[in-house]
Structure 1
Amino acid sequence: MIRAVDTLLDRTIVPGYTRLGFHLRRTCWTRDDPAAGALRGRTAMVTGANSGIGKSIATRFAALGAATVLAVRDLDRGGRARREILDAVPGADVELAQCDVAEPASVDACADALARDHGTLDVLVHNAGVLPIDRTENSAGHELTLATHVLGPLRLTDRLTPLLASAGDARIIFVASGGMYAQPLPVRDPEYRRGEYRGATAYARTKRMQVAFAPLLDGRLADQGVSVHSMHPGWVDTPGISAALPRFSSALRPAMRTADEGADTAVWLATTTPSPMSGHFWHDRRIRHEHYLRHTRYPEDHLLSLWSYCLDEAGAGLH
């Protein structure tokens, strides 16, 4: 009965992605919550951690005992987030790292700094996100959502692989989006140069890429003791969504999840034991289908072609 209700919530989308879906499923999780101190002695990095879901994930990590690194583009905003986390979790080990995930030089500098200060990295959460109104490029000429959601995370993962491998049971988590269900892989136009640019479409396309690439990345890193997961948080009321999609946010605000509710599955993936099955797409602590629409499916050669392009453009040696 419980599984049937869960499946119905997932397939009907609206109730499943809202607070209703979260709280109906939550009744089954009581014994599965992270134990106190579950991350004590471990190091976790969260990109885009100065607000919204990223900040909530970082706060939960700090409360569970992790040495928590807030990887942020804006150090002033990051500093405020750090102070707020310390207010919520007095005595926690929380530090800042400057990292504009869309910029290769910033990614490299961040990875170098982390390697100097930490011998291992147990958890890496790729959460940083953008939803631009107009098509914008980074300094290397890549469309901004592609650079932020795909190329930057691949480059950062590549640079941090030695630290992740030394942890023994490291976990990488991509915070994707249920919006990816409407979009196929942009195999022929990954940089979104054709047609009318829509920020929401660019966002969903690159979130589709995160989910499609997670199993490939998992396959490259599994023999080094590193697992890779992707998840989507449901519809969450965050400052970024409110600014980028005001009509959507306003219409659904009463039913939208809090940032803490949206963060739940990412925290669970990082802490649950034994380690969850890797290379899969998760929502509300369960593996979900990656496709519900026929037009979003793709042959393997298309996926591998796009994967190769992105690795090359990211400067990542994960082939």
Structure 2
Amino acid sequence: MNGTDGKHGRLGPDSASWRLMRERIVILGGMRALLMQSAHPSIAAAAERTGKYERDPWGRLDRTLRLTFMLTFGTREEITSAARQINRTHRAIHGTDDRTGLRYSAADQDLILWVHASLVSSFLLFERAGVGEFDAGDRQLFHQEMTATSTLLGLDAASTPPTVAALDEYVRSVLTGGTLRATTGSRTLKALMAAEGIDLRYPMSAVARYLAFHTLPTELRELYAVAHTDRDSVTVACLFAALRNGRRLLPRSRRYTDTANAAYARLGGVKVDLAGVPVLPARRHEAPHGDR
């Protein structure tokens, strides 16, 4: 599975991580993961303190996903650089939530695990619903690879649920454990994402926002005050079916993210700079109302 030269990085094109993270549909799950993370008051407090939600929420998500992609598709040197950048940023994020009085730190294991679990569970959900090529073994392998990758960012592998089923149980325990709550940060994020309906002027970005909210667990839909009816369940199923069927008609370059396409081009001998490849379409990581 591991590449033997620098172009393959840590994992290589046959890994579960490459095969899942290359899919554009799957990466829409990053928006769902952001909502899950922001429901944690300590994570919301840290984001609110930096002002990143208000100034540039899509830019924040794009930078997060870009570095996550670098850890998957990058050369060993790029992976090391990305991990250092993330860890350097995390070391500077700490303080006390003015509303709860709770101290927070981006190096806290509970927060690192929740961020990890939200990403893995969201990516797996969108793969199953929007692509449907992974079996149980692939899903487990992806979880193991992502756990190993996240240790570069301080995740304690020994404290991480070892299986996908155990990870799902962990997510359920957090959802029902009383930690997650609505905060100014989570309400700000909801307002910025404006997911109350599907805006046909920008269909893909609107569909992504809609799916991000309406695939959340019931507890988080209630936290974000998202009304979800049987009609929404049908809409979600129809949207995923359309994405899944439409994907089969697209060439590989359209099915895959720009980062994955660049990584495959690198394997063919093309010189590329993955750090300069955006993950999200330009419109989605513009600041609201043109503010920067």
**Do the structures match in fold with TM over 0.5?**
no
Greater helix share, structure number: 2
User: Given the two structures, how large is their TM-score scaled by the length of structure 1?
Assistant: 0.28
Choose between structure 1 and 2 for higher RCO, CA contacts under 8 A separated by at least 6 residues: 2
| Alignment TM-score, normalising by the size of structure 2 | 0.30
